[in-house]
């Protein structure tokens, strides 16, 4: 089970709700994925603009909603967004994200750590999106975050795990769940993360923008389950030379 | 003596005329009926339980927020 403060989740796949062609497609993909934790964002209401109801279909799908602080450019804005989200959804769960740079959407480590410390004091279950920096992840853990969410690669880039060595150190050191977030473009990337020992992955673009998002959700569900099972099985480690799987001596010795 | 019938507030940064004595609850009902919103009044989050008892004052800055899709 994935444990986040007092919450338990059997699925190791978190889904982002962005970029789906319709709420119906999002709901179908969420259901197919088996995910139990789905992110939402906040936006200022535009008077007169008809908004799509996302909460009802997600609640019908039986998932826990995880608001994010996307759009916050500094710690103060992130804390404000968090308080709005808690008021709206009546949940302490929070994906903290502060990425002021629009080109690469890289998380601001200083602002993220500062906001995390404040939000933990305010009673939030803080899941910070962060750089794959082992020291930063330790600091976020010490600050009381319920997990760390290092990026695989840039948000929406589908480049997979571009910082494997750093992720391995983060996973080795972490006492809280490590959820690899961002950049996971293929089910094999998700499987890889779980095999490495990540507790979960968060996927959005790869599923939402697939030609068939529901089928993609199924593929990621399988990949995450496979990666977790492989980890639990402690599959064999690489060797530098061959190790025979069939008898190689004696059979044809008389011919030599 | 005439009773002032409207006040100006800033709704999502746009100056807006409202009936005097309008509550936050009434404003939310008018602007965002049936959809979940959060309210910030003068840069502070205003809990829902206070909407009905909070009357808008001249020059108040009200921000309404909704949930949208996002990763």
| A205 to B71: CB separation less than 8 angstroms, yes or no | yes
- Judged by a CB distance cut-off of 8 A, whether residue B25 touches chain A is no
Closest residue in A to B65 (Cα) is: A44
Residue in A202, A192, A184, A178 with CA at minimum distance from that of residue A230: A192
Structural contact between residues A197 and A235, judged by C-beta atoms closer than 8 angstroms = no
Question: Do the domain assignments include residue B1?
Answer: no
Q: What is the pLDDT of residue A53?
A: 74
| B71 to A39: CB separation less than 8 angstroms, yes or no | yes
Q: What is the pLDDT of residue A247?
A: 81
- Judged by a CB distance cut-off of 8 A, whether residue B32 touches chain A is yes
Map out the domains of chain A with their CATH numbers. 2-44+52-235 (3.20.20.70)
Q: Give the total number of structural domains in chain B.
A: 1
Q: What is the pLDDT of residue B49?
A: 93
Question: Do the domain assignments include residue B32?
Answer: yes
Residue A36 pLDDT exceeds 90: yes
Question: Do the domain assignments include residue B21?
Answer: yes
* Higher-pLDDT residue of B1, A211: A211
| Full residue range of the structural domain in which residue B27 is found | 6-66
| A88 to B68: CB separation less than 8 angstroms, yes or no | no
Any idea what the CATH number is for the domain that residue B33 is in? 3.10.20.30
| Residue A175 annotated in active site | no
Tokens in use for A70?
């996307």
Residue A47 pLDDT exceeds 60: yes
The list of chain B residues with pLDDT below 50 reads: 1-2
Sequence-ordered list of residues with C-beta below 8 angstroms from that of A232, at least 6 positions apart, any chain: none
Q: What is the pLDDT of residue A148?
A: 98
Q: Mind telling me how many Å the CA of A170 is from chain B's nearest CA?
A: 22
Enter the ipTM: 0.86
**Tell me: the pLDDT tens digits for A138-177?**
999 999 999 999 999 999 999 999 999 999 999 999 999 9
| B68 to A41: CB separation less than 8 angstroms, yes or no | yes
pTM: 0.90
| Alpha-helix residue ranges (DSSP H) falling in chain A | 23-33, 55-60, 75-89, 109-121, 134-142, 164-173, 187-196, 205-208, 213-233
Closest residue in A to B67 (Cα) is: A42
Q: What is the dihedral of CA A94, A181, A101, A97, to 10 degrees?
A: 10
| B68 to A20: CB separation less than 8 angstroms, yes or no | no
Compute CA distances A42 → A55, A66, A82, A174, B68, whole Å.
12, 11, 9, 30, 6
What's the whole-number average pLDDT of chain A?
Answer: 93
**Tell me: the pLDDT tens digits for A186-203?**
999 999 999 999 999 999
Taking residues A10-22, what's their average pLDDT?
95
- Judged by a CB distance cut-off of 8 A, whether residue B57 touches chain A is no
Taking residues A29-33, what's their average pLDDT?
96
What distance in Å separates the CA atoms of residue A46 and residue A198, rounded to the nearest whole number? Answer: 39
Q: What is the pLDDT of residue A48?
A: 66
Q: Which of B38, B70, B71 sits opposite A87 (nearest CB)?
A: B38
Compute CA distances B8 → A44, A48, A184, B21, whole Å.
20, 19, 48, 12
Q: What is the pLDDT of residue B1?
A: 44
Structural contact between residues A154 and A104, judged by C-beta atoms closer than 8 angstroms = yes
């Amino acid at each position: 089970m994935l444990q986040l403060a007092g919450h338990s989740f059997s699925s190791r796949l978190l889904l982002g709700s962005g970029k789906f062609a319709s709420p119906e497609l999002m709901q179908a993909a969420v259901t197919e994925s088996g995910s139990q934790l789905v992110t939402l964002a906040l936006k200022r209401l535009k008077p007169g603009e008809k908004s799509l109801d996302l909460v009802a279909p997600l609640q019908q799908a039986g998932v826990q909603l995880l608001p994010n602080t996307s759009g916050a450019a500094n710690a103060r804005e992130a804390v404000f967004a968090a308080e709005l989200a808690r008021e709206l959804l009546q949940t302490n769960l929070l994906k903290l994200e502060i990425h002021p740079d629009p080109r690469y959407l890289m998380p601001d480590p200083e602002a993220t750590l500062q906001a995390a410390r404040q939000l933990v004091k305010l009673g939030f279950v803080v899941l910070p999106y962060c750089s794959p920096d082992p020291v930063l992840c330790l600091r976020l853990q010490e600050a009381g975050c319920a997990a760390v969410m290092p990026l695989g690669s840039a948000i929406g880039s589908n480049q997979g795990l571009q910082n494997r060595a750093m992720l391995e150190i983060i996973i080795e050191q972490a006492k809280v769940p490590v959820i690899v977030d961002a950049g996971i473009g293929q089910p094999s990337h998700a499987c890889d993360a779980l095999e490495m020992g990540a507790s979960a992955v968060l996927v959005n673009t790869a599923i939402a923008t697939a030609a068939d998002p529901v089928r993609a959700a199924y593929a990621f569900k399988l990949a995450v389950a496979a990666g977790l099972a492989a980890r639990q099985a402690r599959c064999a480690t690489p060797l530098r030379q061959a190790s025979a799987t069939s008898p190689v001596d004696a059979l044809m010795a008389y011919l030599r | 003596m005439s009773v002032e019938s409207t006040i100006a507030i800033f709704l999502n940064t746009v100056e807006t005329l409202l009936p005097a004595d309008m509550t936050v609850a009434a404003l939310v009902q008018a602007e965002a009926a049936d959809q979940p919103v959060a309210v910030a009044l003068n840069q502070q989050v205003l809990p829902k339980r206070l909407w009905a008892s909070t009357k808008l004052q001249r020059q108040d800055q009200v921000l309404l927020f909704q949930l949208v899709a996002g990763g």
